[in-house]
Amino acid sequence: MRAAFMGFWALFLGFGLVMLGNALQGTLLGVRASMEGFSTNTTGFVMAAYFVGFLGGSYIVPKLLGLVGHVRVFAAMASIASMTVLVHAVYPEPITWMAMRLVTGFAYAGLYIVIESWINDRSDNANRGTVLSIYMLVNNFAMAAGPLLLNLSVPEGYDLFILASVLVSVALVPLLLSAQPVPDFSTPDSMSLKGLYRSSPLGFMGSFLNGLCVGALFGMGPVFGTLIGLSIQDISIFMGAIFVGGFLLQFPIGWFSDRFDRRLIITLTAGSGGAVGLFAFVVIGDGSTPEMLFALSALAGGIFLPIYSLCIAHVNDFLPPKKMVAASAALIAVNGAGAAFGPLIGGFIMDLQGPEGLWLAFGVIQSGIAVFALWRMTQRAAVPLDEQGPYVAYTAQNSTSVIAEMGTEEYIEVSSDSGPEEEAAGKDGEKEKIGSE
């Protein structure tokens, strides 16, 4: 792992700084919106705009790469992302913030695509798994540490906005000064949403519904903390705990999913998420301690974040390798659409039920995933365990088609090591048949 890190240190440093700025900005805006008197519904629209912009950027930025190149696109997106942070500080009103969050999401999609393209271009079969693991470590560390930067100043002022802007701007330095060849980039083959649903209804619905929860948690989590009276320090820990939990539970859940019917693991994981959400809705009140809320946050992150990766692995189990990249890219779009609706639903329910209504939404949605998974188990036979591919961890909030391609290549590489080529070819034929049912 050390050799892989040394070969990619500039890319990972730049990526980590971008993620730090993004995590700080998202948490800061949720807190500041409540301080400015935004209603929960209004804040939901503001936060949803980021995911809409991110989804749009995921489709448009690859076309820009072919026109002006990776370096220019990265510099332009970093400048835009840095600028929009400062506009939030100067004009704290809903319409402006909504427009800026839309542009911010677009810019961050471009930043991630460029960085991930460089990482993908420099990885190969020998180090791809290690590189993906480091990528996940950097992502989780930065997203957990970003909210803690709230404690460096007061959210009512300009300082934290300036810090978020500086982090994104400084990310340009290690990336653009390191000797990086311009990577090849090709847009992955597409798969229609209808085709994706036919291949795996559970993968489609699980990814969309879990996207609702992830979008609501990241978008409205700081609002929840502010409304129930948590201190800035406690809100920062509450948001950071999401990724600590995701890091701790991602790989144990993945280990079980490689050894049992993945639909069963999805059912148990989502069912646990439903129980956590409903429990939190009932018990959160005047007697809630910050420590209990931190534990609930870590559990939510530990459950919600791995479900996205479970859905991708489940879909891949029913497809031949030639269709996996297109399916993963389509799942990113499905998950992103869910994330865009998440803050809207979370804000609406919080407006009706109070701040704890956010957890009611989590409980209902996660229970819905579990029920749908149980129903699917009655509709189609499971893939034999020896034909299941490996679980590959993905980031649920910031995935792009590039990381989907890397993860799929790792999935295929590990799967091909488990048996002769003739056996793999036979499995491909079976998957094609099963996937078309």
User: Tens-of-pLDDT digits for all 437 residues of the chain?
Assistant: 555 555 577 778 888 898 899 999 999 999 999 999 999 999 999 999 999 998 888 888 888 877 777 778 888 888 999 999 999 999 999 999 999 999 999 999 888 888 777 777 767 666 666 777 788 888 888 889 999 999 999 998 899 999 999 998 898 887 777 655 666 656 656 678 888 888 889 999 999 999 999 999 999 999 999 999 899 999 999 999 998 998 889 889 988 888 888 899 999 999 999 999 999 999 887 667 889 999 999 999 999 988 988 888 888 888 777 777 778 778 888 888 999 999 999 999 999 999 999 999 999 999 999 999 999 988 888 888 877 777 777 776 666 666 666 666 666 666 665 544 433 333 444 444 344 44
Report residue 308: phi and psi, to 5°.
-60, -45
* DSSP H or E stretch at residue 110: helix 94-122
Closest CA to 182 of 65, 63, 79: 65
Q: Helices (DSSP H) in 228-289: which residue ranges?
A: 232-257, 262-283
- Please write down the long-range contacts of 283-292, taking CB distance under 8 Å and 24 or more positions apart: 284/228, 284/355, 284/356, 284/359, 285/356, 288/228, 290/230, 290/234, 290/237, 290/238
**CATH number, domain containing residue 276:** 1.20.1250.20
Encoded tokens for 23: 């995590």
The domain total for the chain is 1
At which residue do the structure tokens 């500041």 appear?
A: 32
Q: How far apart are CA 315 and CA 271, in angstroms?
A: 20
CA–CA separation, 140 vs 152, rounded Å?
20
| Amino acid of residue 117 | S
Residues 6+ apart with CB under 8 A from 391: 254, 255, 257, 258, 309, 310, 313
CA-to-CA distance for 136 and 433, rounded, in angstroms? 34
Instruction: Provide the residue type at 69 as one letter.
Output: G
Q: List Cβ neighbours of 15 (8 Å cut-off, separation of 6 or more).
A: 112, 115, 119, 135, 138, 139, 142, 171
Domain span at residue 320? 2-435
pTM for this predicted structure: 0.86
CA neighbor of 266 nearest in space, from 230, 227, 191, 317: 317
Which of 22, 290, 29, 24 is closest to 151 using CA atoms?
24
Start-to-end C-alpha separation, the chain: 42
Specify the residue for token string 């099963």.
434
